[in-house]
Structure 1
Amino acid sequence: MNHSKKYFPALTGIRAIAAYMVFVFHFNPFRSFANEPDTISSKLFSLCDELHIGVTLFFVLSGFLITLRYQGNVQLTRPWLTHYALNRFSRIFPMYAIALGITLVVVGLRIDYDFIKQHIFFPPINKFASIFLNLTLLKGFFSNLKFAGIAQSWSLTAEECFYFTVPFVLVGNSRLLRRTMLYVAASLAIGLFLTGIGASINYYGFFANLDFLFSYTFFGRCLEFALGMLLAYSLNAKQRFYFKHFTLIGVIGIFILLIALTFYHKKTWQGVVLNNCILPIAICSLFLGLIQEHTYLRKILETKLFNLLGKSSYTFYLIHMGVIQLLIARHISQNKWVYFLLLNALAILLYKLVEEPCHKALKKLGRLPDVSASPAIPAHPTEQ
């Protein structure tokens, strides 16, 4: 089987689950019980407060899908790299630009919609820097600006770093495992070097500290992408896995690590190891199970409903927190689950009317080859 041409619908459905994890993390339904000691509700709050791991799931999936699609197809030529860059741009930027434009207009008219307060109260020069870094997807390098504009879009900076560096790892078919390990080591070394510079210049929190490096940047979280890459290498090499319970091990492993993270917060070194190093292994086990095993979970994630929710999950991710969510909360309902449903409906509508047509139009305009058709952020499935 040529896995690079294979479409795995369950991996589309899992995008929706990851996006909903992030939603619950941001809108923890047990927040009011946070300060109640030793109660079930407070423990549920702590558990939901670690559902930021949805981002880790996205990063591993990015590494997996990009490698699965491009391994053996990379050409370090100007035409190929141009096509590759245009395809990544067409997947990410149109919907992001629309959501950012709406955010900036609404915040400009109503300062009370700047709930992060990292944009509207800036002096003009800082505000210009914020807009520029948002438009160029570079804001994720700056601790003081990482939440400006669309707060959750800091992760797009990490994704973009991966997109524009991984072709140099995937070119050719020899020594890919060694190159991947060097890729991780080099990325970490660059991140530590930039953190040393950032600590001395103190410019908008540019690589402000180690916590920022390992929590928000590609250089500190490269291993998450790399482990997804290694899983794709194994499938592309037609390696056989005789064990038959990868889905179960993945689900149980993720749950156990989620509990462990309630004791070791992600800002501690133990939390960094759990979230950035061990959790991706459990996620890889889950992905392998969803690909190779016929389970009830796979059947659910392969349904038309989850396929649609997975395809629209990138738009949902962009709008689930921010001015659009605030407009719904203030003018329609303050019930979290009501605007969860409304945001899903709006995400599907925007995917059908804006995101998908924009991608197709840009793909046609740039004459992008079909081999480059796979997205790797929480947006769409791989395509046949």
Structure 2
Amino acid sequence: MSQNRLQNYFPALTGVRALAAYLVFVSHYFYVFGENFSQIGQRFFGEFHIGVTIFFVLSGFLITYRYYNNFHLTKDWFKQYLKNRVARIYPMYALLTLGAFIYFFATGDQSITKGYNPYAMLAMNITFVRGFFYSFWDTGIAQGWSLTVEECFYFSAPFAFFIMQRYRKFWLQPALITGFGAMLVVIFSRVDWYGFFGNFTFMMLFTFLGRCFEFFVGMQLALYVLGKGFVRTNKVKYSYLGLFLMFGCVFIMALQTPAKGWPTGLQSPIGVFTNNYLLPVCIALFFYGLLTETTILKKLLANKFVELLGKSSYIFYLIHLGWMYNLLHGWFNHANDYAFELYDKWGKDWYSPFENDPINLLYAFVILNIISIILYKLVEEPLNHYIRKSDFLIKNPKKNPENKSVLIQ
């Protein structure tokens, strides 16, 4: 196998993580610029939640590309695999979730608990199970619901690999998984248990059972690349084509009338179908282009600074909405009041640097990125390495040569 085929790290795909996180940021704060855009323009930016789908397809690709050809469904292999996944996801999530509840106890901000018992919500957030309940999915770090989806994929991926290799069943799997989700909705929608699989929209948009197709598209891309490599004979610019089609999906969702009780077209039937089934294919085309082409877009996403933003984007995603942003917003308001108090004292009629909401949003974007990079360098990366090298779940193979066979990345 050529060195090209053995490549295990893709800088441009790391840069894509930053793009995905920033798209989600725009989807949450587009209203700040609302008066500058028509209604369809506002709806268009509101559908930039597609960053979440980008994350899901990317996870499907990377996990399959790295593990499919060397997985062994044994106890030691699975422990090592889970250890690496925990090291990657859990430390920063746990720390920032604890921060969210400390913020709640200090401020009483009900957006953290939605009025439910804070200790129960803390336990459900720390263990990821809040993502299965319609009443709880947006407690704590609201956007963290997607990590419940990610963790479900991480846990199930080796079994999906086993089924693919043993029984050659690939696309049957997401159909069965989503069918199982539908069955749970039929059963539990009749039971008032805090919205546990309480309705089809929730199941399709906020659980792995509804969104598994996105991961399987990424998995299919990985299997194709593992089999065919990165060399292409045609000159189609898949990266640009995929990017164009991705925003075509955004436009389709923007045209939909939001379902009752939901803010965007995503939650309409056509929106769900577009987001969960059409969009992932477009994203896979985009990724395939980045993997096999040399374009300005690829060079931009692989730039060292953009790569750093991509590495810290997980933290940015976790802090861009919620308690840390709320603290920044409060500080801006205090700074604005203080500035005008000074102007009154000085007898000056000047503008405050904090009186403009779009400018404040830009401040927040920059500050949150700086915080993300600092936390990545000083906390996330060291903790990741520490856990991987530790004896958590399974003894470190480098410390214990007899376990060398289970060492995986």
Does the CA-based 8 Å contact 1:227-1:281 persist in structure 2? yes
Distance 2:274 2:164 in 1: 31
Distance 2:33 2:113 in 1: 23
Select 1:263's aligned residue among 221, 230, 255: 255
Report the alpha carbon displacement of residue 196 of structure 1 after superposing the two structures with TM: 1.9
For 2:346, the equivalent position in structure 1 comes to none
For 1:14, the equivalent position in structure 2 comes to 16
For 1:354, the equivalent position in structure 2 comes to 379
* Secondary structure in 1 matching 2:122: helix
**What amino acid is the match of 2:106?**
L
Alignment of 1:144-163 (within 5 A): 144-163=135-154
For 2:74, the equivalent position in structure 1 comes to 77
For 2:364, the equivalent position in structure 1 comes to 339
Query: Which protein has greater RCO, CA pairs closer than 8 Å, 6+ apart?
Result: 1
For 2:26, the equivalent position in structure 1 comes to 24
Does the CA-based 8 Å contact 1:140-1:216 persist in structure 2? yes
Select 1:198's aligned residue among 183, 188, 192: 188
Alignment of 1:312-327 (within 5 A): 312-327=312-327
Q: TM-score, normalised by structure 1?
A: 0.89
**RMSD (Å), alpha carbons:** 2.0
Mark the CA change 1:4 to 1:71 in structure 2 (over 3 Å): closer, same or farther.
farther
**What amino acid is the match of 1:201?**
V
Distance 2:277 2:160 in 1: 20
Report the alpha carbon displacement of residue 174 of structure 1 after superposing the two structures with TM: 3.3
- Alignment partner of 1:248 is 2:229: no
Q: Which moved more, 1:197-206 or 1:47-56?
A: 197-206
Distance 1:98 1:353 in 2: 13
* Secondary structure in 1 matching 2:190: helix
- Alignment partner of 1:44 is 2:34: no
Query: What is the aligned residue count?
Result: 361
Select 1:100's aligned residue among 93, 97, 100: 97
Distance 1:273 1:301 in 2: 29
Distance 1:145 1:200 in 2: 18
* Secondary structure in 2 matching 1:75: coil
Does the CA-based 8 Å contact 1:184-1:222 persist in structure 2? yes
Does the CA-based 8 Å contact 1:153-1:318 persist in structure 2? yes
Mark the CA change 1:237 to 1:45 in structure 2 (over 3 Å): closer, same or farther.
same
**What amino acid is the match of 1:212?**
F
Does the CA-based 8 Å contact 2:100-2:112 persist in structure 1? no
Q: Once the two structures are superposed, what CA deviation does each residue of 1:29-83 show, in whole Å capped at 9, x if it has no partner?
A: 55543xxxxx943222111100011000000001000000001211111111111
* Secondary structure in 2 matching 1:26: helix
For 1:376, the equivalent position in structure 2 comes to none
**What amino acid is the match of 2:14?**
T
For 1:187, the equivalent position in structure 2 comes to 177
Report the alpha carbon displacement of residue 190 of structure 1 after superposing the two structures with TM: 1.6
**What amino acid is the match of 2:233?**
Y
Does the CA-based 8 Å contact 2:112-2:140 persist in structure 1? no
Mark the CA change 1:170 to 1:96 in structure 2 (over 3 Å): closer, same or farther.
same
Identity of aligned residues (%): 40
Does the CA-based 8 Å contact 2:80-2:407 persist in structure 1? no
Larger radius of gyration: 2
Distance 1:325 1:270 in 2: 32
Mark the CA change 1:336 to 1:167 in structure 2 (over 3 Å): closer, same or farther.
same
Distance 1:175 1:19 in 2: 36
Structure 2, unaligned runs of 5 or more: 257-264, 333-353, 398-403
- Alignment partner of 1:225 is 2:215: yes
For 1:139, the equivalent position in structure 2 comes to 130
**What amino acid is the match of 2:254?**
T
Does the CA-based 8 Å contact 1:3-1:68 persist in structure 2? no
Structure 1, unaligned runs of 5 or more: 34-38, 374-384
Report the alpha carbon displacement of residue 6 of structure 1 after superposing the two structures with TM: 2.7
Does the CA-based 8 Å contact 2:26-2:48 persist in structure 1? yes
Does the CA-based 8 Å contact 1:19-1:316 persist in structure 2? yes
Does the CA-based 8 Å contact 1:4-1:70 persist in structure 2? no
Distance 1:31 1:191 in 2: 38
